[in-house]
Homo-oligomer: A and B are copies of this chain.
Amino acid sequence: MYCYSKFTLAPSATIGGGTVGGGVYELLTRRISSPLACIKKICVRDLQKTRDFTVDPTCTLTDSLDDVLNDETLNCIVEVMGGTGIAKDVVLRALSSGKHVVTANKALIAEHLGEIQKAIGEAEGSPSFAYEAAVCGAIPIINTLQSCYSGDNITSVMGICNGTTNFMLCKMEDGADYGEVLKEAQDLGFAEADPTADVEGHDVRAKISILAKLAYGVTVPITSIPTTGISSITSVDFEYAKSMNCTIKLIGTAARTSEHGEHDGPLTVYVAPKMVPTSHVMGGVGGAGNAVAVTSANMGLAAYTGPGAGRYPTANSIVADVMRIANGNQGPAFPKTASLKLSTDYESSFYIRISISDGLGIIKSVGACAESSGVSISQILQNAINDREAVDFCVTTEIALLSQVKMFVEELKKLSFVKKEVMFMPIMEE
């Protein structure tokens, strides 16, 4: 099913749809009785389908896109159909005819940012393009990045922006196995039948590319974002995390590297599970919660946490966008434009888990690999050994470049006693 909606701001408006669209309709008609925004038409794929919300007689259901897009009395589209095919046409057509657009579609924005910006720039009457619901559901991170950091220099943005994987990692921390917990997430409706977009980090990748655009003014093609999901994390990693006073979270990061001074180097954007100190605000995000931590020159660390998805959290952000547009307070969609050098070679301290058959001279060999890769080792941890033929131990590093750590890992794999894939992930600073 697809559906999208459109409304007129002052004196009347339309909206509608499925889970989120229904939520938006309910909030705008039942909770806000504003003369500035009301819903005139709801466009759906199947007119016969039973809706879980009541549509007032003042609102028309239609299955014709043209019926909405060509209606000149409507001046705003709320696109909640999803996908990047028809939704893209809808958004671009609406903008080109001067209609405001509100959308929750992060994939569309991440994949077609250039075209959307072009359409906004060329549209008559400067329509607004608003997308608070596209990243972290109800957390007002889009509005915050658009308007609260105008005099600041952001050094990093880090987000737990996928509730499904956060739910899974929390369960794994409590002892559940990856396969078990994926099934549970699917049974609960959190995870899709094909969970790839969630567990392989593609959803986070789209979201961090949007946050990077807002924080740095740079368009980062999603295909250029190094992305690692959570599928190779095991209970051993959680054991080591615990001994490091950490937990593991899937984090989208956009951060300046340090070249000649602090945070003056290329911008790196990546998605990876991270060791996160439990004392860090990101370490405390439970269940399907979301959080974004922004570090900047003026503010230091600020963090925004809340629910990441669901009918009303998402609808709430859409309605806030609609009302900002209705009140004339919606700022530019992408206020910053900058040309920053991009690099995929991010820097961090790292956790590296190595499976070996135990023997003599191991630390020496590992140390030699680190040295030849330019990696400085910080700690070596080893849990109690049950089976000397299959020992998992871990190494943590000082701040290093991803390329150095990859070289280190390649060197490690050449060692005769190293048994399986070597797993590594960045460690978040306190």
Which A residues contact B (CB, under 8 angstroms)? 27-28, 31-32, 132, 138-140, 143-144, 147-153, 279, 281, 284, 296-307, 312-313, 315-317, 319-320, 323-324, 327-332
> How many angstroms between the C-alpha atoms of A301 and B28 in the bound complex?
21
Task: Say yes or no: A299 contacts B303, CB within 8 Å.
Answer: no
Given contacts A27-B298, A305-B303, contact A323 B138 (CB under 8 A): no
Beyond A27-B152, A31-B151, 6 additional pairs, beta carbon < 8 A = A143-B143, A148-B320, A150-B323, A150-B324, A297-B312, A328-B328
Given contacts A149-B320, A152-B316, A319-B150, contact A302 B298 (CB under 8 A): no
> How many angstroms between the C-alpha atoms of A28 and B151 in the bound complex?
7
Task: Say yes or no: B143 contacts A148, CB within 8 Å.
Answer: yes
| Main secondary structure on A side of the interface with B | mixed
The 8 A-B pairs with the shortest beta carbon distances in the complex, nearest first, are A302-B306, A151-B319, A298-B316, A298-B312, A27-B151, A150-B323, A329-B331, A138-B299
A-B CB contact pairs (8 Å), 24 listed:
A31-B153, A140-B144, A143-B148, A147-B324, A149-B320, A150-B323, A151-B315, A151-B316, A151-B323, A279-B284, A281-B281, A281-B284, A284-B284, A297-B312, A298-B316, A299-B306, A299-B312, A299-B313, A300-B313, A301-B307, A302-B307, A303-B305, A305-B305, A329-B330
> How many angstroms between the C-alpha atoms of A153 and B30 in the bound complex?
12
Q: Which residues in B have their C-beta under 8 angstroms from that of A299?
A: 138, 306-307, 312-313, 316
Task: Say yes or no: A144 contacts B144, CB within 8 Å.
Answer: yes
